[in-house]
């Protein structure tokens, strides 16, 4: 493809409080599932790149862990990752949620972004859940905190006004030919995607604190090309014996249903049949163990 004149390309960091819909927005903008999405806070744990290429611009979107008050070492790393990613973006897209008032984390983020000498946009997400009366004061406060940024109300869920967000972000990118081949859409390996999807299914299935102290590690990923099949063996790491029992469930039913949901989605995403073998292991204190966190890519 010949690059049109005035083509724009660059890095765009999606930043925001946990649960505002950054990963949903990423998946929508990329047009494929790249990052796990769940109704629970602290779903995203690492930096995830998704690439959107259209006829006018290429955005290398960086999804980040949500900002929150960290307690465990894992959470401190997540918040540190998010801060480092802010430094990477040539454009910062600060994401807010329209269904809640502006919180301390939202304010702190907008102040930080306002102080950066970089173009920024504020995406006010989840407008499908907010009335106009609720949205207006939020937009006003956001504007006061970061006057340089255009504020774009959107719904990542319904797709409402995303064209406008794409237009605004594209215009803020530097003129440049595409930085990545047009068919690339993520920096995640298939192993990493598998870990994200399995973890997403655990988050969706389990209650209380289990999701926050569970990790997934793919131990083996074998191709059987002639059968169009991948065999994946993954470890589900939990912090307590009681959690292990709950993840496995009576007669192994919970684990089976997590595995089935993950397998179906992975088959769709990776375009081949998947054999998925899941094991659950207790590792006490893993969320506070720097060496283990590093091994898990956190
Ligand atoms: N109604 C509605 N729900 C949304 C919208 N965008 C995201 N959600 C929901 O909000 C929840 C959180 O979405 P995520 O995309 O995981 O949020 P996040 O900001 O990536 O969260 P962390 O990774 O935990 O920081 C999920 O249940 C989404 O389905 C939206 O525009 N409208
Ligand atoms: Mg996320």
Q: Which residue would you say has higher pLDDT here, 4 or 290?
A: 290
Ligand 1 and 128: CB distance under 6 A: yes
Q: Strand 229-238's sheet: what is its strand order?
A: 215-224, 229-238, 273-282
pLDDT of residue 208: 79
- The answer to whether 275 touches 230, Cβ cutoff 8 Å, is yes
* CA-proximal residue: ligand 1, atom 21 (nearest): 19
The model's pLDDT over 47-98, given as tens digits with 9 standing for 90+, comes to 999 999 999 999 999 999 999 999 999 999 999 999 999 999 999 999 999 9
pLDDT of residue 174: 98
Closest-CA residue to 98 (of 39, 69, 141): 141
Q: Six-digit token pair at 50? A: 């998704």
26 Cα nearest atom in ligand 1? 15
Look up tokens 């960091």; give the residue: 13
The model's pLDDT over 196-221, given as tens digits with 9 standing for 90+, comes to 999 999 999 998 789 999 999 999 99
Buried b / exposed e over 175-192, threshold 16 CB at 10 Å, is: eeebeeeeeebbebebbb
Q: Is the pLDDT of residue 287 over 90?
A: yes
Backbone angles phi, psi at 51, to 5 degrees: -115, 130
Strand partners, 57: 8
158 Cα nearest atom in ligand 1? 31
129 Cα nearest atom in ligand 1? 1
Ligand 1 and 66: CB distance under 6 A: yes
Mean pLDDT computed over 8-35: 98
Neighbours of ion ligand 2 (CB under 5 A): 22-23, 43-44
pLDDT of residue 1: 57
Instruction: Report how far residue 74's alpha carbon sits from residue 87's, in angstroms, rounded to the nearest whole number.
Output: 21
Please state, as a whole number, how many other Cβ atoms lie within 10 Å of the Cβ of residue 50: 28
Strand partners, 125: 97
pLDDT of residue 123: 98
Ligand 1 and 4: CB distance under 6 A: no
The model's pLDDT over 121-159, given as tens digits with 9 standing for 90+, comes to 999 999 999 999 999 999 999 999 999 999 999 999 999
* CA-proximal residue: ligand 1, atom 9 (nearest): 21
Q: Strand 150-153's sheet: what is its strand order?
A: 48-53, 57-63, 8-15, 91-97, 120-125, 150-153
Q: Is the pLDDT of residue 188 over 60?
A: yes
Q: How far is CA 258 from the centre of its chain?
A: 20
Q: How far is CA 57 from the centre of its chain?
A: 21
Ligand 1 and 33: CB distance under 6 A: no
Residue ranges of domains in the chain, CATH in brackets: 8-172 (3.40.50.300), 190-295 (3.30.300.20)
Strand 48-53 versus strand 57-63 pairing type: antiparallel
pLDDT of residue 134: 92
Q: Six-digit token pair at 210? A: 């289990």
- The answer to whether 120 touches 148, Cβ cutoff 8 Å, is yes
Q: Which long-range contacts (CB under 8 A, 24 or more apart) does 132-136 make?
A: 134/98, 134/99, 135/98
Instruction: Report how far residue 184's alpha carbon sits from residue 145's, in angstroms, rounded to the nearest whole number.
Output: 36
| Cα distances (Å, whole numbers) of residue 296 to 113, 208, 242 | 30, 22, 22
Q: Model confidence at 275, in pLDDT bands (50, 70, 90)?
A: very high
Please state, as a whole number, how many other Cβ atoms lie within 10 Å of the Cβ of residue 103: 13
Ligand 1 and 96: CB distance under 6 A: no
Instruction: Report how far residue 266's alpha carbon sits from residue 288's, in angstroms, rounded to the nearest whole number.
Output: 30
The model's pLDDT over 204-263, given as tens digits with 9 standing for 90+, comes to 999 878 999 999 999 999 999 999 999 999 999 999 999 999 999 999 999 999 999 999
Ligand 1 centroid distance, CA of 152 (Å): 17
Ligand 1 and 44: CB distance under 6 A: yes
Mean pLDDT computed over 182-193: 95
Q: Is the pLDDT of residue 112 over 70?
A: yes
The model's pLDDT over 159-171, given as tens digits with 9 standing for 90+, comes to 999 999 999 999 9
pLDDT of residue 4: 79
pLDDT of residue 182: 84
């Amino acid at each position: 493809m010949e690059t049109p004149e005035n083509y724009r390309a660059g890095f765009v960091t999606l930043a925001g409080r946990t649960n505002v819909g950054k990963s949903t927005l990423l998946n929508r903008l990329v047009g494929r599932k790249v990052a796990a999405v769940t109704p629970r806070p602290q779903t995203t744990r690492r930096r995830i790149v998704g690439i959107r290429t259209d006829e006018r611009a290429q955005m290398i979107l960086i999804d980040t862990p949500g900002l929150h008050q960290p307690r465990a070492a894992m959470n401190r790393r997540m918040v540190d990752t998010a801060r480092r990613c802010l430094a990477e973006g040539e454009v910062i897209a600060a994401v807010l949620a329209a269904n809640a008032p502006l919180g301390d984390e939202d304010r702190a983020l907008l102040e930080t972004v306002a102080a950066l000498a970089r173009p920024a946009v504020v995406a006010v997400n989840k407008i499908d859940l907010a009335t106009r009366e609720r949205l207006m004061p939020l937009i006003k406060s956001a504007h006061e905190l970061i006057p340089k940024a255009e504020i774009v109300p959107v719904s990542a869920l319904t797709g409402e006004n995303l064209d406008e967000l794409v237009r605004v972000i594209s215009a803020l990118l530097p003129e440049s030919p595409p930085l990545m081949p047009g068919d690339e859409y993520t920096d995640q390996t298939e192993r990493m995607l598998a870990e994200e999807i399995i973890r997403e299914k655990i988050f969706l299935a389990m209650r209380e604190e289990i999701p926050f102290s569970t990790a997934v590690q793919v131990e083996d990923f074998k191709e059987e090309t002639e059968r169009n099949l991948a065999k994946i063996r993954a470890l589900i790491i939990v912090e307590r014996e009681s959690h292990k029992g709950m993840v496995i469930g009576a007669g192994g039913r919970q684990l089976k249903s997590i595995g089935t949901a993950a397998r179906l989605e992975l088959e769709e995403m990776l375009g081949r049949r998947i054999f998925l073998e899941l094991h659950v292991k207790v590792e006490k204190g893993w969320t506070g163990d720097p060496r283990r966190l590093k091994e898990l890519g956190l």
